[in-house]
C-alpha cells in the first residue's frame, strides 16, 4: 500500500488569507489521503527564508509551495530537471525527495490550462504584462507556449524586465521587449502579475480610466477574487480570467507532484472549496 499521509506547507510573506491549505486538504480527502498543510511566514517567525526552508525540510515535510517574494530565491536550493522551468528561474512547488529537494513550476502549467479552458479559440495576440517577477516569468513562458504574438513587460525594475525579455528571446525570436504605459492602447491582452490588489496591497497597475479596450485580461491575484484590476478590465469589455483559476490549476498540479494522485473530479473539488469558509487575513 502506498503512502497515505502527507505533511505539506506554504512559505511566503502575505499568506494568511491563502486558500492553498483548503485545496490540498480537500483534494487529499477526496483521494483517501490524510493531508496537513501549514503556513510558514518568515518575518512572523523571525527567520530568514533560508532558515525557514531548512526548517521545513528538517521537520519532515513532504513538500512545500513557495510564493511571493521567494519563488526566485528558492531556485538555488533545488534540483530542477525540466529545462523550461530552469529557464524560468522561479519555482513555486518543492518536493523533498530522498536525494534532496526538487523544484517545479505549476504556475506555468496552470496558466496554459486556464487560458485554454477560458479561451479555446482566442490566440493571446499582443500582450502587455505588468510584473516580471516569479509568477510573471511563469506566465510569460506559458504565453510563449500558447504562441503569443508579442509580450511587452512593464515593471519598475527595468533591468529585471529586460533580463526576462532576453531569456524569452534567447532562441532568436523577437517575442518580448520592455515597454511602458504607451503600449497599452494596442494590447489584445493585459495581465497583472504584480501584488497590487492582493489583501495587504492596494490598487491596480493601471490608472483609473486607463484600461484599454482589449480582448482579454488576467489578474494573478486571487485573494480577493474581485480586484480593482478585474473591475477595470470588465468595465472595458475584456473577457477575464481570474487569478483563482491559476490558483486552482497550480494547486491541483502541485497536489499531484506531492502525492502522486491526480485530481479527476474537478467539479466536486471546486464545490467543496466554494463551501469552505474563507480564512481570516489577520
**pLDDT 10s digits, 104-139:** 999 999 999 999 999 999 999 999 999 999 899 999
- The per-residue pLDDT for range 194-226, each reduced to its tens digit, is 999 998 888 999 999 999 999 999 999 988 999
Average the pLDDT over 83-105 and give the result.
Answer: 94
CATH superfamily entry for domain 108-244:
NAD(P)-binding Rossmann-like Domain (3.40.50.720)
pLDDT at 280: 64
> Dihedrals φ, ψ of 105, to 5°?
-130, 95
pLDDT at 211: 98
Residue scoring higher pLDDT (84 or 47): 47
pLDDT at 151: 98
What counts of helices (H) and strands (E) characterise the chain? 10, 11
E strands, 41-122, where?
63-66, 93-97, 100-104
Residue 281 has pLDDT above 60, yes or no: no
Active-site residue, from 71, 137, 144, 160: 71
The label of the residue with cell 469589455 reads 237
| For helices 106-118 and 243-259, angle between their N-to-C axes, nearest 10 degrees | 130
pLDDT at 180: 97
The label of the residue with cell 517577477 reads 133
pLDDT at 16: 92
C-alpha span between 267 and 76 (Å, rounded): 37
pLDDT at 274: 94
Residue 281: partners with Cβ closer than 8 Å, 6 or more residues away:
16, 17, 199, 200, 223
The domain ranges of the chain are 5-105+251-275, 108-244
pLDDT at 2: 86
The predicted model scores a pTM of: 0.89
Question: Strand 34-40 vs strand 5-11: parallel, antiparallel, or unpaired?
Answer: parallel
3 is catalytic: no
Domains 5-105+251-275 and 108-244 share a fold: yes
CATH level 3 topology of 5-105+251-275: Rossmann fold (3.40.50)
Number of other CB atoms surrounding residue 105 within 10 Å: 29
C-alpha span between 231 and 164 (Å, rounded): 28
pLDDT band per the 50, 70, 90 thresholds, residue 5: very high
Residue 282 has pLDDT above 60, yes or no: no
Do 96 and 257 form a contact (C-beta atoms < 8 A)?
no
Amino acid at each position: 500500500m502506498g503512502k497515505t499521509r502527507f505533511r505539506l506547507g506554504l512559505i511566503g510573506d502575505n499568506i494568511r488569507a491563502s486558500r492553498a491549505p483548503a485545496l490540498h486538504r480537500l483534494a487529499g480527502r477526496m483521494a483517501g489521503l490524510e493531508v496537513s498543510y501549514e503556513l510558514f511566514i518568515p518575518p512572523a517567525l523571525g527567520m530568514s527564508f533560508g532558515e525557514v526552508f531548512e526548517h521545513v525540510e528538517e521537520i519532515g515535510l513532504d513538500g512545500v509551495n513557495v510564493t511571493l517574494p521567494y519563488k526566485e530565491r528558492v531556485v538555488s536550493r533545488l534540483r530542477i530537471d525540466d529545462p523550461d522551468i530552469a529557464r524560468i528561474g522561479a519555482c513555486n512547488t518543492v518536493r523533498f525527495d530522498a536525494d534532496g529537494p526538487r523544484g517545479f513550476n505549476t504556475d506555468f502549467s496552470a496558466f496554459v490550462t486556464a487560458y485554454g479552458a477560458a479561451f479555446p479559440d482566442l490566440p493571446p495576440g499582443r500582450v502587455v504584462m505588468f510584473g516580471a517577477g516569479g509568477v510573471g516569468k511563469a506566465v510569460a513562458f506559458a504565453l510563449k507556449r500558447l504562441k503569443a504574438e508579442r509580450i511587452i513587460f512593464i515593471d519598475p525594475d527595468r533591468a529585471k524586465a529586460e533580463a526576462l525579455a532576453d531569456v524569452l528571446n534567447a532562441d532568436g525570436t523577437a517575442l518580448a521587449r520592455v515597454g511602458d504605459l504607451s503600449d497599452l492602447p494596442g494590447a489584445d491582452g493585459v495581465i497583472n502579475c504584480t501584488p497590487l490588489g492582493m489583501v495587504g496591497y492596494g490598487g491596480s497597475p493601471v490608472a483609473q480610466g486607463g484600461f484599454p479596450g482589449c480582448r482579454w485580461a488576467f489578474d494573478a491575484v486571487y485573494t480577493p477574487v474581485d480586484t480593482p484590476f478585474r473591475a477595470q478590465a470588465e468595465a472595458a469589455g475584456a473577457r477575464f480570467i481570474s487569478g483563482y483559476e491559476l490558483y486552482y490549476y497550480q494547486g491541483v498540479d502541485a497536489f499531484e507532484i506531492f502525492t502522486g494522485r491526480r485530481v479527476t473530479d474537478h467539479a466536486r473539488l471546486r464545490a467543496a472549496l466554494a463551501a469552505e469558509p474563507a480564512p481570516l487575513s489577520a
